[in-house]
Amino acid sequence: MVIFLHVWGVSWVMPLSSLIAATLFLMPRATATGQVLDAAGAPAPNIDVSVSWAVVDGASSAVKLKPVNGVKTDAQGKFAVELPPFEANWCVSAYDYDKGIGGLRVLPRGSKEPLTIQMEKLVPVTLKSKMSSGQEAPKGLAAQIETRDDGGIVASFALKNLPGATTLLLPPGHYRVLPFTTSGRIKNNPLALSIAKGAARVELNIPIEVIAVEKLSSKPAPEWSLAGAIGVKSTVKVSDFRGKWLLVDFWATWCQPCISESLPKLVEFYQANKKLSDKFAVVAFHDSTSASVQELTPKIKKIRDEKWKGKDLPFPVLLDKGGATFKAWGIEKLPTMILIDPDGKVVADGSLEMLKAKLGVH
């Protein structure tokens, strides 16, 4: 298992073009400065300090970490470590595994105040992860550890071979553990993790439960309930799309990621692949915050003029009736994309990227 401790450029998944990414890395970078003190309060020289850590764990009982783009403290225990080229609450950590001590401090967003990191005895923390009964683990399953009070990211690591356990060494303190996937298909309720000074060992169970929509995987898509439709008859059914791949994008006019990211990407894909219209279809399924098409239409027109350069959506817009479809399909957050195969069954971890792969396009 590969363990990452906030490895920017490695563990961050960001939809940036090569040009934008290159620009970010050419920007002047801020630094975190400060001093590391040992357990007795004396300056600690030659200690690894970084905001980025990574290791491949082997047969050892607990994971040991190596700094990425880190520095060593000088004879007075002082350091100046470079920060990634974007703002966040950065967790600056110092570890000496030979002595079994370490410490961390969070540098608030935009702060230039020097940090004092007090080293303490590290505590083995075993995180046990297990899927809910009868559920399959989704792809890209991982967990993130953050400081409880200021949200500095301490660690991110993959969860594999469930049920399973990972042991890492952490300084005493209060944290929260957040399971997640790259597709966002699990319930990511944060779990409290408290490590007392002098504790021999701490264990935490991480129950993993997929969101309701994932329970439809490999099953026939439920029929939807419509209050109206734009661009297609309001009597249209899921079964009318049999024989094609159907991508359903659940959205709302109040959802900024929907109108700024997911729908524009869908429009670009749809326009570029019109020649394959006999193989796939796309529908934008709006929630029930608008009761009728008459109420929804002016909202869409406003977004069209302000966000979409005056262009209408080129595919049908369906309107949920009283929230019945969202409930039947298990939609818990927006945007959510559901891919249905030509036989009318829901595809596990369905997405626009998966549809592209099925169609053999980029």
> Domain ranges in the chain?
2-208, 213-359
Q: What is 213-359's CATH topology? A: Glutaredoxin (3.40.30)
User: Of 236, 187, 241, 249, whose CA–CA distance to 214 is shortest?
Assistant: 187
Q: What is 2-208's CATH topology? A: Immunoglobulin-like (2.60.40)
User: Any residues with CB less than 8 A from the CB of 28 and at least 6 apart, and which?
Assistant: none
pLDDT at residue 44 is higher than 70: yes
pLDDT at residue 27 is higher than 60: no
User: Hey, what amino acid is at 327?
Assistant: K
The mean pLDDT of the chain is: 85
User: Which residue in the block uniquely carries the two structure tokens 């891919």?
Assistant: 339
Proportion of the chain above pLDDT 90, given as a percent: 58
Of 27-41, 150-164, 187-201, 317-331, least confident by mean pLDDT is 150-164
Of 57-61, 88-92, 120-124, 353-357, least confident by mean pLDDT is 57-61
